[in-house]
Homo-oligomer: A and B are copies of this chain.
Amino acid sequence: MSLIVQKFGGSSVADAESIKRVAKRIVETRKAGNDVVVAVSAMGDTTDELLDLAAEVTPLPAPRELDMLLSSGERISMALLAMAIKSMGHDARSFTGSQAGMITDATHGAARIVDVTPVRLREALDEGAIVIVAGFQGFSRESRDITTLGRGGSDTTAVALAAALDADVCEIYTDVDGVYTSDPRVVKKARKLDRITSEEMLELAASGAKVLHIRAVEFARRHGVILHVRSSFNNSEGTIVYDPSRLPEGAAVEESVIAGVAVDLTEAKITVVGVPDVPGVAAKIFKIVANTNANVDMIVQNVSAASTGRTDISFTLPKSDGERALTALSNSQETVGFTSLQYDDQIGKLSLVGAAMRSATGVSARLFEALYNAGINIEMISTSEIRISVVTRADSVHAAARAVHTAFELDGDDDAVVHAGTGR
């Protein structure tokens, strides 16, 4: 008998009808002879509605109370889901984060899982019940308070349960058929991937692909959990996210050079103009930025102009961090000694990800050539072992993605099917 963990997001349980549909799917998995553990998000927009309610009461809600408030959302969806399953004649029991043994640190709103002690879940499974667990929430042993894991937390809950229960697979149900070579809304010829390594998935998620949360993928990789990303709207096989180093000897499969092309339009670029080209200045600048908790991504330093002894430093960061970073830098203009600041929120980032890039040669050249042929100017470049990212103008990054997708022979034969709505 296999143990399968299934995760359903808010859009999959948005109303009573959807809950019954999901219940039916869970029962089918059970009938096929599997033990089933389900992690479920709050219904539809519940979390946002609760946040609105809190905002009406106070502009700055106490974090402990905000977690208490938000954790009510999954209690509603999980209880309804368990009821629906029971009404179909199968035993089901719902468990809160703390009942499920989801132990976290005491960081409200962004708690880290420190331990999972699923004693009650095992008991329920042994008694033949389907187990429903509240996603997104946990319990701090230290403060004895209820915590939440932050956005995308339900994916992480599912993966943590799969790891703790040694599940055979963790199925992440979403509103797309799986992981695509690129966003099908941008690149019509995007292909669904049958499998992708967790390393590639991590880079894609970090580069703007939204199908899985980076934290859940990291957790899965660290604990050897196999993910299956699939649609809750049909029964097609989705995409398996796996760690090739954990495959048994001889089971290795040939990897394609490129797994996918990701696009990110959420970043902005700050250029610090006329920085004195002396040691320690860059460190000073990025210390100032780091103190604002801004999440710096790419950094480029121009060659110093010999005549002035000054240089420009550009970096990208999430637009939402832009204002804080600019203010902090502006306040330090005299100490750092730069000339001026430029802010550009009309940039797009394109990333090419593939594990086989390590051994393949000429990938960068092929990328730059494709962009050149499409008439797209590159403003910044950064690379990791299995990724190349370039910054372009925002309004040309989609065209860039299509050109690169074609150049690397990723195009499928048919246009991809795009469902409405997005999961959480």
Residues on A lying within 8 angstroms of B by beta carbon are: 15-16, 19-20, 50, 53-54, 56-62, 64-66, 68-69, 71-73, 75-76, 78-80, 82-84, 86-87, 92-94, 96, 99, 120, 144
Minimum distance in angstroms from A154 CB to a CB of chain B: 17
Residues of B within 8 A of A59 (CB): 87
Task: Please give the distance in Å from A158's CB to the nearest CB on chain B.
Answer: 20
The distance from the CB of A368 to the nearest CB of chain B, in whole angstroms, is 53
- What residue of chain B has the Cβ atom nearest to residue A84's Cβ? B57
Could you say which residues of chain B place their CB within 8 Å of the CB of A58?
83-84, 86-87
Beyond A16-B56, A99-B144, whether A83 also contacts B66 by CB under 8 A is yes
Given the complex, which residues of B lie within 8 Å of A83, measured CB to CB?
54, 57-58, 61-62, 65-66, 69
Q: Evaluate whether A60 and B87 lie within 8 angstroms (CB atoms) in the complex, with A16-B53, A65-B82 already known.
A: yes
A and B contact pairs by CB, cutoff 8 A, 29 listed: A15-B56, A16-B56, A16-B57, A20-B57, A50-B76, A53-B80, A54-B79, A54-B80, A54-B83, A57-B80, A57-B87, A58-B87, A60-B87, A61-B83, A62-B86, A62-B92, A64-B93, A65-B82, A65-B83, A65-B94, A68-B78, A68-B94, A68-B96, A69-B75, A69-B79, A69-B80, A72-B75, A72-B76, A75-B75
Determine if A79 and B94 form an interchain contact, defined as CB atoms under 8 angstroms apart: no
With a cutoff of 8 Å between Cβ atoms, the chain B residues found around residue A54 in the complex are: 79-80, 83
CA distance A86 to B59 in the complex (A): 11
A72–B144 Cα gap in the complex (Å)?
19
Query: When the two chains form their complex, are residues B144 and A120 in contact, meaning their CB atoms are under 8 A apart?
Result: yes
CA distance A313 to B46 in the complex (A): 55
Give the residue name and chain of the B residue nearest to A64 (CB): B93
Contacting residues, chain B, for A53 (C-beta < 8 A): 16, 76, 80
> How many monomers of this chain does the complex have?
2
**Residue in chain B with minimal CB distance to A17:** B56
Q: In whole angstroms, what is the CA distance A73 to B69 when docked?
A: 10
Q: Which residues on the B side are within 8 Å of A72 (C-beta)? A: 72-73, 75-76, 79
Which residues of chain B are near A60, meaning CB under 8 Å?
87
CB distance from A283 to the nearest CB of B (A): 39
Q: How far is the CB of A241 from chain B (nearest CB, A)?
A: 32
CB-CB under 8 A from A61, the residues of chain B are 83, 87
The answer to whether A66 and B50 touch (CB under 8 A), given A16-B56, A19-B57, A84-B58, is no
Q: Please name all residues of chain B whose beta carbon is closer than 8 Å to the beta carbon of A82 when the two chains form the complex.
A: 62, 65, 68
Contacts of A93 in B (CB 8 A): 64-65
Q: What residues of chain B lie closer than 8 Å to A62, measured between beta carbons?
A: 82-83, 86-87, 92
B contact residues around A64 at 8 Å (CB):
93
Q: A120-B144, A144-B120 are in contact. Are A79 and B56 (CB under 8 A)?
A: no
A54 to B84, CA, bound (A): 9
Tell me if B76 and A69 are in contact (CB < 8 A): yes
Of B71, B86, B94, B144, the residue contacting A75 (CB under 8 A) is: B71
* Closest B residue by C-beta to A91: B62
* Closest partner residue, chain B, to A120 (CB atom): B144
Beyond known contacts A54-B79, A62-B87, A69-B76: 15 more, CB 8 A cutoff:
A20-B57, A54-B80, A61-B87, A62-B83, A62-B86, A62-B92, A65-B79, A65-B82, A65-B92, A66-B79, A68-B75, A68-B96, A69-B79, A71-B75, A72-B75
In the bound complex, how far is the Cα of B92 from the Cα of A83, in angstroms? 34
Q: Which of the listed residues A15, A61, A62 has the most CB atoms from chain B within 10 Å of its own CB?
A: A62
Residues of B within 8 A of A92 (CB): 62, 65
Min C-beta distance of A264 to chain B, whole Å: 34
Contacts of A84 in B (CB 8 A): 57-58
Nearest-neighbour CB distance to chain B for A211, whole angstroms, equals: 28
Q: How far is the CB of A304 from chain B (nearest CB, A)?
A: 51
Instruction: Determine the chain B residues whose CB is within 8 A of the CB of A80 once the complex forms.
Output: 53-54, 57, 65, 69
**With the chains together, A82 CA to B63 CA distance in Å?**
11
